């Protein structure tokens, strides 16, 4: 099983491209689009996430995906686990009554929101996104879940950029990443 996990991790890693100086000079952008284009690589991501969740959490009610790339992996994982999926969107993108939190970006501020009835107090949730950089977006989602009185079990990301120390902002929330740079 360990060699199967290793081969899946190698497949995922091989499908992440690096683009220097994007979106601005000095940034090395990690692109997960090749994972989405390759069915085996995408399956490997979901397999690895599913294996981690089943091994570490006895009960999960919802997968909470972050706008927009958490929407790519979250529903697939939720379906595998037989649980629901909830969207965390940028402000103004969801109909009906919403709950929001403001958070800081490298270059300004933003707001994230969910529909008011998306999460019931006490539900056990896992957050999912493609990448952990500075931790701002995942922290905002964590704050939204706390506002809704959900129990946040942890978070899952495909890529973690360790040098940006985003994990420090998320403590004590656990972060599981498939690939670290």
Note the pLDDT of residue 2. 80
pTM (2 d.p.): 0.96
Alpha helices in the chain (DSSP H): 2-14, 33-37, 39-56, 70-81, 136-147, 166-170
Full pLDDT tens readout for the chain, 181 residues = 688 999 999 999 999 999 999 999 999 999 999 999 999 999 999 999 999 999 999 999 999 999 999 999 999 999 999 999 999 999 999 999 999 999 987 678 999 999 999 999 999 999 999 999 999 999 999 999 999 999 999 999 999 999 999 999 999 999 999 999 9
Please name each of the domains of the chain with its CATH number: 2-180 (3.40.50.2020)
Answer for the pair 128, 65: CB distance below 8 angstroms, yes or no. Answer: yes
Residue 23: cis peptide before it, omega within 30 degrees of 0: yes
- Residues forming the active site: 69, 106
Predicted confidence at residue 1, as pLDDT, reads: 66
Cβ atoms of 115 and 88 within 8 Å: the answer is: no
In the structure encoding, which two tokens stand for residue 150, read together?
A: 């959900």
- Spatial contact of 181 and 161, defined as CB atoms under 8 Å apart: yes
Q: So what's the pLDDT on residue 105? A: 76
Backbone angles phi, psi at 26, to 5 degrees: 95, -10
pLDDT at position 6: 97
Query: Residue 175: which H helix or E strand, with range?
Result: strand 175-180
pLDDT at res. 37: 98
pLDDT of residue 119: 98
C-alpha–C-alpha distance, residues 20 and 115, integer Å: 37
Give me 64's structure tokens: 């909470």
């Amino acid at each position: 099983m360990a060699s199967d996990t290793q081969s899946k991790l190698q497949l995922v890693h091989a499908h992440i491209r690096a683009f220097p100086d994007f979106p601005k000079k000095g940034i090395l952008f990690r692109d997960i689009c090749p994972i989405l284009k390759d069915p085996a690589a995408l399956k490997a991501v979901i397999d690895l996430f599913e294996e981690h969740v089943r091994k570490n959490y006895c009960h999960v009610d919802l997968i909470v995906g972050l706008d927009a790339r958490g929407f790519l992996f979250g529903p697939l994982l939720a379906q595998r686990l037989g649980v629901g999926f909830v969207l965390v969107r940028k402000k103004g993108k969801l109909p009906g009554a919403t709950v929001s939190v403001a958070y800081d970006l490298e270059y300004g501020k933003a707001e994230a929101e969910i529909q008011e009835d998306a999460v019931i107090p006490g539900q056990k949730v896992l957050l999912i996104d493609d990448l952990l950089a500075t931790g701002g977006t995942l922290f905002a989602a964590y704050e939204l879940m706390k506002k809704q009185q959900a129990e946040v079990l942890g978070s899952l990301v495909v890529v973690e950029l360790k040098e940006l120390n985003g994990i420090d902002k998320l403590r004590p929330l656990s972060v599981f990443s498939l690939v670290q740079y």
